[in-house]
Structure 1
Amino acid sequence: MWRRSSVTQEEKQTLRVLWKDRVRDFRASGMTAAAWCAEHQLKTHQLGYWIQQYEKPTSSKPSPAWIPVQIDESPQPAEDGLLLRFGEFTLEVKPGFNRQLLVDVVRVLSQP
């Protein structure tokens, strides 16, 4: 029967430090993984796993950043509308438009 491990965070950290030292020692030894593992009574797949863990980049995504935006605050006449272009379709939205109707139309136009 499979049971969930109840390893504490402190034990996990201790294990990480232990394997970090082992990986460093292996790399400094100049030995093959098989020979080094045999000498230290470890399995080569364990060593391979931990080498892979320490070679992973810490973050593959760039951090989000704010970009400057300039807003034209010149007043627009209320009777002006808005033109929305969806591929070959153009919708003119005027003040007082029916929101739900616009949502429905945009949804239909967005479908493949």
Structure 2
Amino acid sequence: MTREELRKEWGARVAAYQSSGQSLTEWCVDHDLKPHQLRYWLHKQETATIPAVKPTQWLSVEVDSFSKDDRLGSPIVIKLGKACIEVKPGFDPVLLSQVVETLLVRC
């Protein structure tokens, strides 16, 4: 049996299990399969459907009016849900990116 045939066969088995309404153990007993085999293919199918890169999510930004002098020394405040981030001149852009990404995942 080729790898492609094996994938198709297990894809059909996983679909049959998921639509059966049975527990994993019950379904495996009825189909003469070992539960660890089905768990392996369920995991394999789940990880195959997870996109490698999350799509970009654009956010609106509200900017109050300010003078050129304000931009040079005043902090910028970013609000994401309940979180409020104050960005001061000389900030670390990598760290800011990581903080924003973490907040987007949790919000």
**Interval of TM-score (by shorter of Structure 1 and Structure 2):** 0.3 to 0.5
**Computing the radius of gyration over CA atoms, which structure comes out larger, 1 or 2?**
1
Higher RCO (C-alpha under 8 Å, 6+ residues apart): 2
Q: Which has the higher helix share?
A: 2
